[in-house]
Chain A
């Protein structure tokens, strides 16, 4: 059986894997291999043909494929091999990878360090337990996006979208522009989980109604979907009888959340956070298994690809440091979620971080005129005010590396102070 050694193996050639590879090479790591299960690099950006990518990183508005292409071009300049059509089957805690492809067969690869950059998947209907028939015409928004933007087919004509995540909002506009009628976007929460600009540009600009605090209560149609019923929900998200609205539609798109895809990570024995569904990492993005790093949407679901790239540059740099000196820094601080905060990454911080530490999290609710506060041992170490903190947008707090030597406690807590506002 083929056996091979690389210094750095990266699982996934989406924006996270590409950025990690670029930074590791810039740190001087020569032997890098990226494995990608799709036939081309770029990840989910390939099907995101709308614009709005790269405002932070490139200070211009790019489409998904344009954004990806910049990294792909750089990867080619740096001569970093990307093997597409290659699926990683397992990763061991000793960093042995098995993978398979049609062209190179089954292989076992020993890596000096591994970066997990597999991305995330969409929550399917089953996870929502929506009752009704199991007819055709129910798609996750991303599957529909693939059919339209990569395969050139329309999944349906009269569409309702459940969930107001960004992909759902984008698909509302895309389906409309392509000749379908989008009847409604239905969101169980009192606020959208998507970016505000997408609410405006994808729903409001096209007169598509957004039903907040509503959910789909029944799916109708024996072979192909022929309608759905939605109803208003109470504070416990239970449908309120008598508030039902029926839509005649042939398509239901689900945009009800993304789940980091960590089956490989779990196989390697990586500790997974129940809050982010991604690995528990320290400030250098190393998981609980030495030499295995994680970045991008497999670590936690991001709002902007710019954040993904930024995080992944750090992971590439940290993996390079590990390859040069394979030591596993002990965590000194635990990062905990306080009021209004959910799933802060990283969960652990070493005693003396090499760089400034960015704490990233999703607010658990909408807060107005609020401040994000970081504390340790009763001492406030950061306060960042904002007009609004919302679950649709990732909050990023930067802690200077110098601050850590001044801290006396072991637990760093992040919380939000402010008016909870569900309006």
Chain B
């Protein structure tokens, strides 16, 4: 039984942004998530774009939070040492109808306050991005569009929140919420319970289910899956900007974009699915993505594909975010329906929702707030001189664990020792990039598992890929021949 002032359900980009903002106030805060780690839902599987804000309908919450959030991104990522790059974007059109759409987006963007938008001729667009399909009719240039590593931002937000006293309870799914006098009691599937004064729903794809447990105003949410290809890093990528096609009712369509780590991302398609946890890829979905990506990039080759993945967008029938007090439920707040541009909006949603909650509870600001220490430059990005200095100060920088992404033992250990540290193979992967490269952990996962075991004391045979029953191993050779195994 936990007792807290504020319970935030969901540790995605919105929940962690909110937790960090609220950690500036004098209050006990607990973040609960069903994942074994931070950012296990949509935050770990999306396009990683900070949208400039030309797409959302003026007057919508999406437009408001997107524009305000995007403006906060650069300094936020700088202060948290999170990879972020304003690489710009094109929205390309193929015919007169598309060009009309580009003008609508231009006007929309301007009324949303987006700077630098302009329509480019075919030739100008092709000169700037020579790998584009020569059949384009024109493009909308969006210089303010940026890319970010979304899960790394969530990790940093969570770490800073934790440094300022926020607790995290991971691997717990809320199954029931009861009103208790002025507050709430949340129960989890594992029999744990949390009592709180204020309940906040940032539960991503479970947002509507959780809302419907406490509100008399039911919501309907659909789950829209998007599949991706992630291609290997290359010295020169075919595109320097994010390339969007004209948006449709199902979303922003298939994009081709560099990532902050120098990979190339193709996706997502959009398909409504019944199960909000079904992040499988399908051959139809992947073919669909490739076919559509080839419209942007006729030379698209998946020969260097590293992995495929899919993410789930939580789409409310109102087609907008829902941010604020929960209708018909006192001392409860929510930020749900956070589909695209949810990542771009998160800093603003976190900020404004924290102000609403603080006002409702009359919270006082703390006198001092701890900033997240600057994260060392990744070994992979260091100069020779920096590498020399790093190994001299800590010999563990001399042991390369992941050869593909050049990640050192020192960095793997640091990732496990962070305030909200990695406990799984995927947790180390997302924090350090060990296993994120072209061999997909084939060489480094045995060593990473060993280091996790050393750091956490978890026996090697109980290390998981990603929590739950995702065991890497079935037991020692000896236990096996005896007919048993440690996991039985």
- B441-454: CB near A (< 8 Å → 1, else 0) gives 11101100010000
Report if A411 contacts B (CB, 8 A): no
Q: Are A154 and B398 in contact (CB under 8 A)?
A: no
Q: Evaluate whether A100 and B391 lie within 8 angstroms (CB atoms) in the complex, with A121-B442, A140-B442, A154-B477 already known.
A: yes
Report if B322 contacts A (CB, 8 A): no
Q: Evaluate whether A136 and B465 lie within 8 angstroms (CB atoms) in the complex, with A143-B442, A224-B471 already known.
A: yes
Neighbouring A residues of B309 by C-beta, 8 Å: 134
> Which residues of A222-273 have CB atoms within 8 Å of chain B's CB atoms?
222-224, 250-251, 263
Report if B103 contacts A (CB, 8 A): no
Q: Are B387 and A129 in contact (CB under 8 A)?
A: no
Neighbouring A residues of B381 by C-beta, 8 Å: none
Q: Are B472 and A155 in contact (CB under 8 A)?
A: yes
Which one of A105, A129, A179 lies within 8 Å of B308 (CB-CB)?
A129
Q: Are A156 and B470 in contact (CB under 8 A)?
A: no
Could you write out 19 A-B pairs with CB less than 8 Å apart?
A87-B400, A98-B384, A100-B398, A105-B392, A106-B387, A121-B439, A124-B439, A125-B440, A131-B286, A132-B281, A134-B309, A136-B464, A142-B442, A143-B443, A153-B473, A155-B473, A155-B474, A179-B483, A219-B280
> Which residues of A109-147 have CB atoms within 8 Å of chain B's CB atoms?
121-122, 124-127, 129, 131-136, 139-140, 142-143, 146-147
Bound: A104/B399 CA distance, A: 11
Neighbouring B residues of A104 by C-beta, 8 Å: 398
Q: Are B406 and A1 in contact (CB under 8 A)?
A: no
Chain B residue total in the interface (Cβ 8 A) = 63
Bound: A146/B442 CA distance, A: 10
> Which residues of A178-199 have CB atoms within 8 Å of chain B's CB atoms?
178-180
Report if B305 contacts A (CB, 8 A): yes
Shortest 3 CB-CB contacts between residues of A and residues of B: A102-B398, A136-B465, A124-B440
Q: Are B387 and A136 in contact (CB under 8 A)?
A: no
Q: Are B469 and A151 in contact (CB under 8 A)?
A: no
Bound: A328/B481 CA distance, A: 57
Report if B76 contacts A (CB, 8 A): no
Interface of A, helix, strand, loop or mixed by DSSP:
mixed
Tally the A-B contacts, defined by beta carbons under 8 Å: 159
- Closest Cβ of chain A: how far from B301's Cβ, in Å? 12
Neighbouring B residues of A155 by C-beta, 8 Å: 472-474
Bound: A378/B442 CA distance, A: 47
Report if B74 contacts A (CB, 8 A): no
Q: Are B279 and A134 in contact (CB under 8 A)?
A: yes
Report if A152 contacts B (CB, 8 A): yes
Q: Are A131 and B302 in contact (CB under 8 A)?
A: no
- Closest Cβ of chain A: how far from B425's Cβ, in Å? 8
Q: Are A148 and B442 in contact (CB under 8 A)?
A: no
Interface residues of B (CB under 8 A from A): 229-230, 277, 279-283, 285-286, 302, 305-309, 384-385, 387-388, 390-392, 395-400, 403-404, 406, 409, 438-443, 445-446, 450, 460-461, 464-478, 480-481, 483, 485
Q: Are B403 and A179 in contact (CB under 8 A)?
A: no
Q: Are A147 and B398 in contact (CB under 8 A)?
A: no
Which one of B281, B282, B476 lies within 8 Å of A153 (CB-CB)?
B476
Q: Evaluate whether A154 and B440 lie within 8 angstroms (CB atoms) in the complex, with A102-B398, A178-B480, A178-B481 already known.
A: no
Closest to B388 in A: A106
Interface of B, helix, strand, loop or mixed by DSSP:
mixed
Bound: A414/B283 CA distance, A: 38
Closest to B282 in A: A131
Q: Are B467 and A124 in contact (CB under 8 A)?
A: no
Q: Are B469 and A224 in contact (CB under 8 A)?
A: yes
Report if A103 contacts B (CB, 8 A): yes
Closest to B468 in A: A223
Report if A55 contacts B (CB, 8 A): no
Bound: A121/B404 CA distance, A: 11
Neighbouring B residues of A178 by C-beta, 8 Å: 477, 480-481
Q: Are B467 and A223 in contact (CB under 8 A)?
A: yes
Report if A101 contacts B (CB, 8 A): yes
Bound: A98/B406 CA distance, A: 13
Neighbouring B residues of A89 by C-beta, 8 Å: 387, 406
Neighbouring A residues of B395 by C-beta, 8 Å: 102-103, 105
Which one of A106, A151, A180 lies within 8 Å of B480 (CB-CB)?
A180
> Which residues of A148-184 have CB atoms within 8 Å of chain B's CB atoms?
148, 150-157, 178-180
Report if A347 contacts B (CB, 8 A): no
Closest to A177 in B: B481
Bound: A200/B113 CA distance, A: 70
Closest to A118 in B: B403
Bound: A219/B308 CA distance, A: 13
**9 extra A-B contacts, CB within 8 A, seeds A98-B387, A263-B404:** A85-B398, A106-B384, A126-B308, A133-B279, A135-B465, A143-B441, A154-B480, A157-B480, A224-B471
Neighbouring A residues of B281 by C-beta, 8 Å: 131-132
Bound: A125/B445 CA distance, A: 15
